[in-house]
């Protein structure tokens, strides 16, 4: 069983990130001298194994991920590079990475106005349903998630940083929704008007 390799040096200087100074070169050096026959058949979690798997996956996808610590920048961040594109992602200060939103109560009759299917793209729909006075949002191929009212016709999800706004026509009929998640995505309501 290999939990850590022999060339790993634990540093008390960064208890929260003891692998901060462990490099791809350190991993390669260990692998050159590693004898897989020394392993037992017992399966246990291995930081080394997890790092190796991540390294192989990154090589296969030609991905590079770099973690910047506060010493290198003003706050912790991640730089993600793939196919020549670079995405810099600064750390969000709250625990989930989502904006803090306050839920308000809405009457079940109002929630029923939103029920139906909305076409997001060809072959992709957002199904809106109500169960036990709770609105649920389900995108094609995904499970349904609860959505919470932040205003009449405006909801947020807690599982991801996303909001949904329902648009009404002059007669009050909900005919479209807008999904706010990494941009603005409109979805028109499908089916006949009731």
CA distance 155 to 149: 4
Residue 151 contacts residue 134 (beta carbons within 8 Å):
no
Span 120-159, pLDDT tens digits: 988 899 999 999 999 999 998 889 999 999 999 999 998 8
Looking at residue 96, what is its pLDDT?
Answer: 46
Global pTM value? 0.52
Span 6-30, pLDDT tens digits: 555 544 444 455 566 677 787 777 7
Q: What is the Rg, in whole angstroms, of the alpha carbon atoms belonging to the chain? A: 24
Pairing of strands 145-151, 154-157: antiparallel
Looking at residue 86, what is its pLDDT?
Answer: 77
CA distance 181 to 164: 9
Task: Count CA within 13 A, CB hemisphere, residue 183.
Answer: 2
The CATH code of domain 108-189 reads 2.40.128.50
Q: Measuring CA to CA, which residue among 100, 80, 103, 105 is closest to residue 90?
A: 80
What are the extents of the domains in the chain? Answer: 12-90, 108-189
Work out the mean pLDDT of the chain and round it to a whole number. 78
Render 18-53 in DSSP notation, one character per residue. Answer: TTTT--HHHHHHHHHH--GGG--S-----HHHHHHH
């Amino acid at each position: 069983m290999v939990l850590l390799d022999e060339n790993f040096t634990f540093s008390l200087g960064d208890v929260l990130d003891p692998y901060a100074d462990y490099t791809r070169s350190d991993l390669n050096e260990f692998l050159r001298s590693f004898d897989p026959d020394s392993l037992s058949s017992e399966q246990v979690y291995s930081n080394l194994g997890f790092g190796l798997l991540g390294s192989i996956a990154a090589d296969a996808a030609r991905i590079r991920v770099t973690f910047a610590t506060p010493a290198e920048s003003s706050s912790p961040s991640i730089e993600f590079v793939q196919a020549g594109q670079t995405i810099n992602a600064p750390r969000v200060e709250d625990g989930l990475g989502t904006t803090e939103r306050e839920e308000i109560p809405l009457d079940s009759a109002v929630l029923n106005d939103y029920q139906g299917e909305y076409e997001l793209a060809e072959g992709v729909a957002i199904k809106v349903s109500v169960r036990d006075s709770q609105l649920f949002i389900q995108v094609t191929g995904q499970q349904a998630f609860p959505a919470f009212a932040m205003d009449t016709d405006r909801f947020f999800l807690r599982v991801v940083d996303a909001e949904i706004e329902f648009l009404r026509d002059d007669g009050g009929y909900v005919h479209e929704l807008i999904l706010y998640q990494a941009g603005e995505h409109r979805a028109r309501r499908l089916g006949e008007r009731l």
